Structures are given as C-alpha cells and as structure tokens.
Amino acid sequence: MGPLWDVIGKRWIGYILSVLLIIPGVVALVTNAAAGRGAVNWGVDFTGGNYLQVRLVGAASVGDVRAVVDRFASGQSIIQRSDQDTFIRTRPLTVEERSGMLDALRQQFGGVTVLREDEVGPIIGQELRYAATVGIVIGLILQLVYITIRFKSVRYAVAADAALLHDMLIVIGVFALTRKEVNGPFVAVLLTILGYSINDKIVLYDRIRENIAQRTKEAFDRMVNRSLLESLVRSLNTSITVVLAIAAVYVFGGITIRDLAFGLTIGVVISTYSSVFTAGALMVDWQLWSERRAGRTRPVEADTSPAAPPSRVPALEPVTPEAPARTTAGQGPRRRRSRRR
C-alpha cells in the first residue's frame, strides 16, 4: 500500500502549477515596461517625489482630491484616503508647484492641515533601489553558504535558493499585476519572505537528513515523500497562524500598511506551497539526474504492502550415514531391526 499523498511521485503537477503562477507575472512585467509605466509601480522611495499626509476641513472623496492634484502632477499621483486623513504621493515637485497645490486644496476644501511631508530626490531613489537589490542578493548568497555548511551538501542549498527565487518571482509578479505600490515596505516584504521561506524549507531538509541517517533501503524519492508528509502538519499550522495574524493587520491596521500586509500574505502562502511542491521535488530530480549520469539504474522498489505470515515448514532432521548392510548371494540387503530391551 503506497503513501496517502504521493506528492513527489506526482511532482510534475507542482511544476506545471508553478509555471502557471509565474507566467502571468512575467507577462505583466514585460507589458508594463514596454508601455513605459515601469515594470512595477515604483513608489516615491525609489523614483523620488513628494509625499504629503494632510487633513482636509471639508468632506472630500479621492476623485475630488485627485482633480486638484492632477493640475500640478497630472497622471502621476497616488491618492489614498483613511477616515480623516488624505495621503498624496506625487512626482518630484518644485517649491512653487507644491505651494500652489496646497493653496488649491485650501480653496477647494476650506482648509488643509499638513501632518507629514517627505521629499525624496531621484538620485536617492535610485540608490535605495540599488541597495535593496544588493541586500536581497547578499541574503541569498549567505543562505547558500550557510545551508551548504550546515547540511554538508550544496544540493540542499541550491534547491532551497531556487525555491526562494520561485517565491519572490511570484510575489513580484502579483504586485506587477495588481499595480500595488513598490516602496520601502516592499523590500521588507521580500526580506521577510526570504527568512520565513528558508526556515520552512530547512525543517523539511532536516527531516530528510534524519531519515537518511537511519540508513534504510527505501528509495530516495519515497524517503523524501515520507519526510514531506511528516513535516507537512507543522508547516500548515505555522502558515495558517501567520496568515490569520496578517489578516488582522490588513483589516484593522489602516490603509497605510495594507500593501505590506497584502505582500506578506501572498509571500507566506507561496512559501508554504513551494516547501511542499518545489523544494523536495528539486532534490529528488537532482538525485535521479546524478544517478543517470553515473550510469546507475534505479533499484526496483520493494512492495510495501503487508505480507502474509510465512507458513511453517517442519525442519528436516539431519541425515546420518548408515553402515552398509550385509548381503548374501541372491539376496538383497537386510534391514536392521531395532530390538527393545
């Protein structure tokens, strides 16, 4: 009888699903870049610009505020509203443009109180983008080195980093599709996903290593599938707990951190998915490729179904050589007769 869920045996389904999740994001990145609006919706932190948090005296909707702001930053502004405050992100504005925009808001809504004001230059934005990219690459390299040393095999490290790249590519693709703003918190999302995802995969790899140490005659793919099922409940419980906590932040945390909570939710779900369908599958395919390259054929798996109890066979008594029987002419050998006294 085989395992309840043969995840590794049907790993091609996971590969197909991963491709279907990655392709729309890649298409969105290419399409957005070709249209000239940026592969992703870069925020003020990376492109440079002005950020204002204001409180208007009169009632206003997002459309009303945008109608005023577009006079000074046409088509390049992001307007968000909470209960009382309005958040305005624009391209870099001159001092005259900023003063004119605030005056227009005062005339339109009866008064404006500036609660927060930030300005990021284009050069600073490019430096932040470069620093974020370098930080993520360094994180991947350090994890590659650590896992190689910890598990004494580069296979674990390469498979884990490949799964991490899979996770980040899907998250970036989702932001490209939804046009969510990519700013400083988005870098925190990616780094958090790196930490969470690698922790989940190390749990699986540690279980694989423990089962290998038992030196059973089980085939490698069967052993990986068993290790995956043994650690599956732990991964699901952890992920569900984290998603529930992030969902509470998304609902009650306010509009300013909803993009952060959205990215974390997508990242946790995808990390759990890749731990189940990608990390172990890559290890198995690498092992099978190495065996084929070395010219070794895969041993036939033994039947794991419960065997019937062997029937009892009486042991044969040892045969002792007998002395040759006396013969007489015309007669065959005489049999010995045992006498009881």
- Residues 101-156 pLDDT 10s: 888 888 888 888 888 888 777 676 778 788 888 888 898 898 889 889 988 888 89
Judge if 22 and 78 occupy the same domain.
no
pLDDT (0 to 100) of residue 311: 39
What CATH number is associated with residue 71?
3.30.70.3400
Judge if 128 and 115 occupy the same domain.
no
Q: Does residue 36 surpass a pLDDT of 80?
A: no
Query: What's phi and psi for 327, nearest 5 deg?
Result: -125, 150
Q: Which residue segment(s) compose the domain that 198 sits in?
A: 11-36+124-293
Q: What is the DSSP letter of 91?
A: S
Q: Does residue 206 surpass a pLDDT of 70?
A: yes
Question: 89 in a domain, yes or no?
Answer: yes
pLDDT (0 to 100) of residue 41: 83
Judge if 144 and 286 occupy the same domain.
yes
Rounded CA-CA distance 48/39 in Å is 16
Q: Does residue 82 surpass a pLDDT of 90?
A: no
Please state whether 321 falls in left (phi above 0), alpha (psi between -120 and 50) or beta: beta
Half-sphere exposure of 42 toward its Cβ, with a 13 Å CA cutoff? 21
pLDDT (0 to 100) of residue 57: 81
Judge if 102 and 140 occupy the same domain.
no
C-alpha distance from residue 167 to each of 21, 125, 170, 219, 307 (Å) = 10, 25, 5, 29, 43
How many residues can be counted in the chain?
A: 341
What CATH number is associated with residue 32?
1.20.1640.10
- Beta 85-90 vs 112-120: how paired, if at all? unpaired
pLDDT (0 to 100) of residue 216: 73
Helices (H), the chain: 11-34, 44-47, 62-69, 95-109, 122-151, 154-178, 184-213, 220-252, 258-274, 280-293
Residue 228, number of CB atoms within 10 A of its CB? 23
pLDDT (0 to 100) of residue 329: 42
Judge if 56 and 94 occupy the same domain.
yes
Residues in CB range of 272: below 8 A, 6 or more apart: 200, 235, 236, 239
> Per the structure, how many domains does the chain have?
2
Question: 253 in a domain, yes or no?
Answer: yes
Rounded CA-CA distance 312/110 in Å is 100
DSSP states of 94-152: -HHHHHHHHHHHHHHHS-EEEEEEEEE-HHHHHHHHHHHHHHHHHHHHHHHHHHHHHHT
Judge if 63 and 195 occupy the same domain.
no
Model pTM above 0.85: no
Question: 169 in a domain, yes or no?
Answer: yes
Instruction: List, as own/partner pairs, every contact residues 209-215 make where C-beta atoms lie below 8 angstroms and the sequence separation is at least 24, other chains included.
Output: 209/151
Judge if 203 and 104 occupy the same domain.
no
pLDDT (0 to 100) of residue 324: 47
Judge if 238 and 174 occupy the same domain.
yes
Judge if 71 and 211 occupy the same domain.
no
Question: 57 in a domain, yes or no?
Answer: yes
